[in-house]
Amino acid sequence: MIARHVEEDTMPRIPVCAAVLTAAGQSLRIETLLLDEPRTGEVLVRTAAAGLCHSDLHYLTGVLDIPTPAVLGHEVAGVVESVGDGVRRVKAGDRVVVTITPSCGQCASCVSGYATRCERVSELRKRSEPLLTDTAGNAVTSLGAIGAFAEAVVVPESALAVVGDLDPIGACLLGCCISTGVGAVMHGAAVSPADTVAVIGCGGVGMAIIQGARISGASRIIALDVSPGKLELARVLGASDVLNPTVDNARDAVLSIVPGGVTRSFEAVGRPETAELAFSLLAPGGVATVLGLMPPGSRIGLDAVALIEGDRRIQGAYMGSNRFLADLGPLLEHCRRGSFDLDAMVTSVIDLERINEGFAAMRGPSSIRTVVSFAEGIAA
């Protein structure tokens, strides 16, 4: 149980150990911060495990901006410790995962099936007091109103899904990379057994796409990555063919496997040139889905003839256009049956004090997902 600390003249706040970004490009510092108690509609979750996502790395290095000081992290599993007024769907003791895209379920986007476009997400995250402060009372930013690199988080009830006895080390990945990759397959691109698929980038999102495409019955799944180790794992997880763009001419190699091009391609790297490659691999009528985050101002160039005369499309799919609460039930069943391999996607497990080593390892060729383990949360 996390100890409580009561400040005079304020609501109770909870001391938590957290990894704090003080400035872009700097290493994270382990500090004690004060977390607000859950208010109406909110839930306090004791962190069991948090994944290191490439979007976190973008904020850490300054590719993407965030006000500092800040606690990064958004891919998290944990145990509900307490709930605020009005919470009905979860209770203390529930094991849960968190999504960075809570949805109201009532706006036009939500009722149309586009939960990641919820028009009230800012309202769901809005609070009268900051989630986190330092010990002097100064506000600390929480990435995505989560801030998962801390011993506990407070989030809206709508950001949570119950996962039962699933190991939190793998379960945390359901909150971002898996819901993004599988969501892109199921909803963003609607992959079917009639489709042929190319996946550019075999990190966490890419591996989730490969497994999702296999589950969806795609007739051919081609994985492209510069790491031989990742390509080997991609084949284990469902890729029918693997290509290294530094060795093979990517477009020619894909067209030699699927003459005319693939019907669905996915970009999970976050570079304009790989997005352009994804489009170039398409057959007439094909759809390229870009998932990788790119620096602000990035531009993608396309062959206009291929776009117009070939009826090809390129699209974004924020968080894979997933439907978090609806998708989690089937995903959990696949995980429990072994048809979706969670364990294979976890490259390494570290404690919070080694988080900077974990981010350094992400730049290596063999990293899929590093997970920070919070021993107390897992033992609960």
Q: What is the pLDDT of residues 103-148, one digit of tens each?
A: 999 999 999 999 999 999 999 888 989 999 999 999 999 999 999 9
CB 359 within 8 A of CB 138: no
Q: How many domains would you assign to the chain?
A: 2
64: pLDDT strictly greater than 60? yes
295 Rama sector, left if φ>0, alpha if ψ -120 to 50, beta otherwise? beta
Alpha carbon distance 49, 199 (integer Å): 27
pLDDT of 376 higher than 90: no
* Pair 170, 27 in one domain: yes
Mean pLDDT of 271-275: 96
pTM of the model: 0.93
Which CATH number fits the domain that encloses residue 309?
3.40.50.720
Angle (deg, nearest 10), helices 204-215 and 228-237: 30
Cβ atoms of 19 and 28 closer than 8 Å? yes
Give, in degrees to the nearest 5, the angle at Cα 335 between 177 and 195. 65
Q: Is 341 a domain residue? A: no
In angstroms, the CA 351 to CA 372 distance is 5
Say yes or no: 90 and 122 in one domain. yes
Q: Are strands 313-316 and 282-290 parallel, antiparallel or unpaired?
A: parallel
Answer yes or no: is 263 within a domain: yes
- On the question of pLDDT at 3 being above 70, the answer is no
Q: Does residue 284 sit in the same domain as residue 374?
A: no
- pLDDT for 324 beyond 50: yes
Q: Note the helical H segments in the chain.
A: 54-61, 108-111, 121-125, 168-171, 177-183, 204-215, 228-237, 250-257, 272-280, 304-308, 324-337, 355-362, 375-379
Give the number of other Cβ atoms within 10 Å of residue 357's Cβ.
12
Share of the chain above pLDDT 90, in %: 90
| Measured distance CA(253)–CA(226) in Å, rounded | 14
Residue 175 per-residue DSSP state:
G
User: What pLDDT does residue 10 have?
Assistant: 57
Which one, of 321, 354, 352, lies nearest residue 147 by Cα? 352
Residues 251, 359: one domain?
no
Decide which of 302, 318, 334 is a domain's last residue: 318
The reply to whether 66 and 112 lie within a common domain is yes
Q: Is 210 left (phi over 0), alpha (psi -120 to 50) or beta?
A: alpha
Please state, rounded to an integer, the average pLDDT across all residues of the chain.
93
Give the whole-angstrom CA distance, residue 75 versus residue 32. 21
Q: How far is CA 90 from CA 42, 303, 367, in A?
A: 10, 50, 34
**pLDDT > 70: percent of the chain:** 96
Mean pLDDT of 71-95: 97
How far, CA to CA in Å, does 227 sit from each of 197, 238, 242? 19, 17, 11
Provide the 8-state DSSP code for 254.
H
Quote the domain boundaries for residue 265.
181-318
214, 195 contact by CB (below 8 A): no
Alpha-carbon separation of residue 283 from 26, 191, 217, 250 (angstroms): 44, 14, 19, 15
Based on the fold, state whether residues 203 and 298 are members of the same structural domain: yes
Domain-located, residue 304:
yes
At 272 the pLDDT is 96
Same-domain status, 164 and 19: yes
Q: Nearest to residue 204, comparing CAs of 358, 344, 328?
A: 344
Lowest mean pLDDT among 3-7, 244-248, 362-366, 374-378: 3-7
Question: Is residue 118 in a domain?
Answer: yes
Residues 263 and 289 in one domain: yes
Summarize pLDDT for 197-253 with one digit per residue, the tens: 999 999 999 999 999 999 999 999 999 999 999 999 999 999 999 999 988 899 999
Taking the CA atoms of residue 85, residue 87, residue 92 and residue 96 in that order, the dihedral angle to the nearest 10 degrees is -140
Q: 4: closest CA among 143, 151, 142, 169?
A: 151
Q: CB-based burial of residue 349 (10 Å sphere; 0-12 exposed, 13-18 middle, 19+ buried)?
A: middle
Shared domain check, 256 and 363: no
